[in-house]
Amino acid sequence: MESDDLTIELPAGYRIESLPETRSTKLTIGNYEIQREFQAGKLRMRRQFEIQHVLFPKAYYSAVREFFNVVRAGDEEQVVLRSGEAAPKE
């Protein structure tokens, strides 16, 4: 199991232009959730990753592959910043 909780304070003059939605997957083989939120000039990202077993039978290959594809897609989503004086989105 991995649990990450990261807070980044944005530099003055930067705001969030695009913030990905929360992604959550709960399957027999594992659980994954990633959340991103912006409050008071700070970006907070929380991520939970858990695998339920160490070994999987060959019949589970497609389910394991699908689960890790969901994890990869969630981890690769980007928060887009923009410089400017406009008020940040919350």
Domains of the chain: 2-83 (2.60.120.1130)
pLDDT at position 86 is: 52
pLDDT at position 17 is: 92
CB contact set of 71 (below 8 Å; sequence gap of 6+):
25, 32, 49
Give the Cα separation of 31 and 48 in Å (integer).
8
Indicate the pLDDT class of residue 72, thresholds 50, 70 and 90. very high
